[in-house]
Homo-oligomer: A and B are copies of this chain.
Amino acid sequence: MGEFLQVVSYEEAIVRLKSRLKRPGEEQCPLGRSRGRILSRAIASPEDMPGFNRSTVDGYAVNALDSFGASESLPAFFQYIGAVPMGAAPDFSISSGQCAWIPTGGMLPAGSDAAIMVEYTERLGDDTILVYRPGSPGENVMRKGEDISRDADLFAEGHLLRPQDIGLLASLGISRVPVIKPYLVGIISSGDEMVPIEMPPNPGQVRDVNSYSLAAAVEERGHRAQIYPLVRDDADQLKRMVAQSLEQNDITLLSGGSSVGIADLTLDVLLSFEEAQLLFHGLAVKPGKPTMGVSIKDRLVIGLPGHPVSALMMFNVLSHQLLDSRRNLHVHARLTQNIASQPGRDDFVPVYLSEGAGHWEARPLLGKSGLMSILAQANGFIHIKAVDQGLKGGEVCRVYPF
C-alpha cells in the first residue's frame, strides 16, 4: 500500500498550484457580451461624468447671486433670454439678471451656476420671469465630473462584470472591455466500476458522476470544460488519455477510485511524463485527503478524490482562489449542533441553511460519509480551520454558498 508522499495544507496546495499555473490570456470583449466575465486589468474612467454642468430639475438657469434675497413677497425679476435645448449645448450665455429655461438633464449655459425649480417661478409676459426663492450656487446642478471624474478608478483587475457594471461602462462610452480568457480544463474519470450515465449499470457498477458535476463547476467559474471518455484502471490507457488532455488543456482534473492502490497508479502515470513535478500528494483536509497536484511543463494536473461529494468540495476549495476572483457573499449562521473536528486538518462541512428569526441557521449534513443525497440538500459549507477542535452548537460561523 502506498503512502501520501507530500501532505500539505490546502493553502499551501493553492500556493504551489498557483505558482505553476500560467497567467490567463487576455481578450477584448464587446460590452454587450461581457456579463460574468472577469476584467484582466483595472479600468479608469476615460471622461468626466457628467461631461457638463447639468440641471437636475425643470426650471430656469440663473446666476444664483442674482436671486439672493428673493422671497414670496419680494420676488427677483429676471430677463428671459431663451431655452436650453435637450441634447445640445446652448448657443448663448447668461449675463447678470438674465435666465433661460432649462429641462432636467439640460446643460447649464455659461454664466449660470444654479437652476431654480419651475415651481418657485412665475412667467410674466414674454421675457420676464419672477423667482420667489433664492437659489444658491450649485443648487439643482450636477457639476461636470461630480459623479465620476476623469481617470477615477472604476473597477480593479479581477472584477467580475455585473449588469450594473455594464451599465456604468456603457454610460462612459466603453464598448469593449479587456477580460481574461477562460482556462481550458480537461476532465478525466477513471475506474473499472464506472459506466457512462446513459448505460444501465450492472450490480456493482456506478455511473460516472464527476465528469458531469466537475464540468458544470468549471463552467460556473467561467472556464471551459472538456470531458474525456471514461478510463479503466489501467496505466497505459490512463497515460494516453492524460497525454491528450495535456495537449488540449491548461488544467486536467482527474478523479478516480479512492482506494490507495488506484491513487498510486495515477501518481505513477503522472510522474512518468517528461518534466513532471510533484507539487503535493495528500492534503490535510477532510474530505479530500487523497487529492494530488502535479505540474507537467506549463500544465497542471489535479487528482481529486473519487467520491462525488469530496471531489466537488475539493474542486470548490481549490478553484475558488485558483480559477477566479469572484466572491460569493458568505452569510453568518448559527450552528444547530456541535461539530467535532480533528486539529491539524482543515474540515469543510456541508450544511443546510435555513432562516430563523432574523438570522440564518446552519444544520451540518453529517451522517454516513459518502451520501450522495447531501449534494441535493447542501446549500452551503463551513470551514473549520486546522487550529480548531470543532465548533459548538449555537456558535455563529461563516457559511459559504455551495
Contact = CB atoms under 8 A, between A and B. Distances in A.
A79 interface: no
A163 B213 contact: yes
A308 to B, nearest CB: 5
Contacts of A375: 164-165, 167-168
A104 B259 contact: yes
Interface in A210-231: 210-217, 219-220, 227
Given A107-B204, A163-B216, A171 B308 contact: yes
A344 interface: no
A390 B35 CA distance: 34
B87 A220 contact: no
B312 A163 contact: yes
Interface of A: 31-32, 35-36, 49, 51-52, 56, 58, 84-89, 103-107, 142, 146-148, 154-155, 162-175, 192-194, 197-198, 200-217, 219-220, 227, 257-259, 308, 312, 329-332, 353, 358-360, 368-373, 375-376, 378-379, 396, 401-402
14 contacts: A35-B216, A56-B369, A86-B193, A88-B204, A146-B368, A162-B402, A164-B402, A165-B375, A166-B216, A167-B312, A168-B375, A170-B209, A173-B198, A332-B359
A389 to B, nearest CB: 19
Residue picked from A198, A203, A220, most chain B C-beta under 10 Å: A203
A88 B376 contact: no
A202 B163 contact: no
Contacts of A104: 258-259
A212 B331 CA distance: 31
Contact of A31 (B197, B202, B353, B359): B197
